[in-house]
Structure formats: C-alpha cells, structure tokens
Amino acid sequence: MTTAEPLRITHIGGPTTLIEVGGWRLLTDPTFDAPGRRYAFGWGTSSRKVTGPAIPAADLGPIDAVLLSHDHHGDNLDDTGRALLTGVDTVLTAVSGARRLGGDTQGLRAGQNTRLARSGRPTIEVTATPCRHGPPLSGPIVGDVIGFALRWAGQQHGALWITGDTVLTRRVRDVATRIPIGTVLLHLGGVRFPITGPLRYSMTARRAVQLCAALRPHTAIPVHYEGWQHFQEPRDVIERAFTAAPPSVRDSIHWLSPGETATVTA
C-alpha cells in the first residue's frame, strides 16, 4: 500500500499559494509586487493592488515548478512574479501564455496532461482544466486561462485542483465527473469592473457553493478574494454563503489567511 504524502499549502496572497508535497515545491500564480500600483487589464479595465504578499519572493526558497493560470493579468502574474519565473525549471500555463513567455514554458490546453517527475519524489500528473474568465463569448477579450488538477500516488481523497480564474460553467462543473477531487483551491472574488457593469470575471461565493456541492471535496480553500480593488466579495461574503450551505459543503471549507500554512489530507 502506498503511503499518503503530507500536503502543505501556504496562502501567500491573492491567487498565490505554495504547495509542498513529497519534496516538491510548487507555486501558483506568482504575485509579489508591493501594493499601491494600478494595473491595466485591457479594454478599459484596471485595478489597484491594496495588499502586498505575506511572504516576499526572496524568502520563498527554491521552487520546482510554477502553475500559472494565465500570464496577461497583473493580479495573477506581476513584475516580481515574472522575474521569479527565470529561476524556475518548469513553468506550466495556457498555450497562448507559453508563446508570450517563451523559453521552456510549457503550454497546455484544457484536458491535456503532463508529468512532473524527479528521482526520489512521487511523480505528479498534471491535467489542465477548463476556465472561462468572464461571461459567454468573452474569450477573445479576456484571453486564455487554465486550471490544474494534480494527482500522485497515495492520495486518499482525490486530486488537488486549482480552479484558476473562472466563472462557473458546465465544463468547469464537469471536472467533478471526470476527476475525483480531494482538495480544491477556489479562485473567488466575484470580480467586476465599473466599465462592464454587473458582468462577473471570477466565481462568486454562491457559485462556489454550487461547485462544491457537485465536487464534494474533503477540503476547499478559498483564494483570490483579497488584496485588490476589483475583488467584490471579501471573506465575510464568502463565509456567509458557505455557512448557509448544506453540511457536506459547509464542513469542507478551510480558511487560510495570507501567511498561514495548513497540512491537509490529500
């Protein structure tokens, strides 16, 4: 019987987390710039960063791979994050992002697989999962985004899934039918911009409850809800939605404030 590997997750801020398992150190969506700057997201949208990272990039230590949902928005990859990529052997992202970043960056389309393999460590199978970073037909405007499902030997509850920036769609919901999920990092925030009115560009708390009801994960960790002006649903809004959810959903939520680390059963 394969021994389960302890899974440690540290929330650094925004969408940025450090994932440690079996000797691997993986980083998601590196955002390490100081607060105060306004970033343009295209088509008249912009946002100001209001909170810096809980852990500076210089204090991270070695990173084996970066899982980058998309490269073209500053709240998922900023200038300090781009500099960090140059010292990482493996960077996985969407196909269009890999073309922009160049070098050895590996591009994946939703449904494609790759592996992280190194002697003395468990091999991690990485599957790119679908995202839609906005309303229907917004793809050409908002650009390509992917999530990541990670599987390795010994997982007791199922894969680790990083949803990436997405609203809830049928394809996103269908991940639960194709991949058993044990732990999910939920990119939330209910992003909106004044120029586009009520349109949402990331998942709301209400939709996250619906997704978790379909997934039935052992552990659900909200990220991507604080630190920026365009995040419209802070922690208290998310907490209310999950408090009102059925027990199987409510009990799965595990909060990590920026800077906190949790060891979860994968």
CATH superfamily of 7-264: Ribonuclease Z/Hydroxyacylglutathione hydrolase-like (3.60.15.10)
Exposed/middle/buried for residue 38 (C-beta within 10 Å: 0-12, 13-18, 19+) = exposed
Kindly state the greatest CA–CA separation across the chain.
55
How many Å apart are CA 83 and CA 60, to the nearest integer?
Answer: 13
Query: Bridge-partner residues for 171, per DSSP?
Result: none
What kind and span of H or E run contains 114?
strand 113-116
Count of CB atoms situated within 10 Å of the CB of 144: 21
Give the model confidence (pLDDT) of 218-264 as tens digits. Answer: 999 999 999 999 999 999 999 999 999 999 999 999 999 999 999 99
Q: What is the pLDDT of residue 140?
A: 82
Give mean pLDDT, residues 140-156: 94
Nearest partner of 125 among 111, 136, 115, 138, judged by Cα: 115
Nearest to 30 by CA among 109, 99, 88, 85: 85
Closest CA to 233 of 189, 201, 175: 189
Phi and psi at residue 67, in whole multiples of 5°? -105, 105
Domain residue extents for the chain: 7-264
Convert the pLDDT of each residue in 127-142 to its tens digit: 999 999 999 988 888 8
Q: Give the residue-averaged pLDDT of 62-87.
A: 97
Check residue 137 and give its pLDDT.
81
> What confidence category does residue 55 fall into, taking pLDDT thresholds of 50, 70 and 90?
very high
- Band (pLDDT 50/70/90 cuts) for residue 177 is very high
Beta strand pairing status for 16-21 and 24-28?
Answer: antiparallel
Query: Position of tokens 């709240």?
Result: 75
β-pair type (261-264, 7-13): antiparallel
Would you say residue 162 has pLDDT above 60? Answer: yes
Please report which confidence band the pLDDT of residue 1 belongs to, taking 50, 70 and 90 as the band edges.
Answer: very low
Q: Is the predicted pLDDT of residue 266 greater than 90, yes or no?
A: no
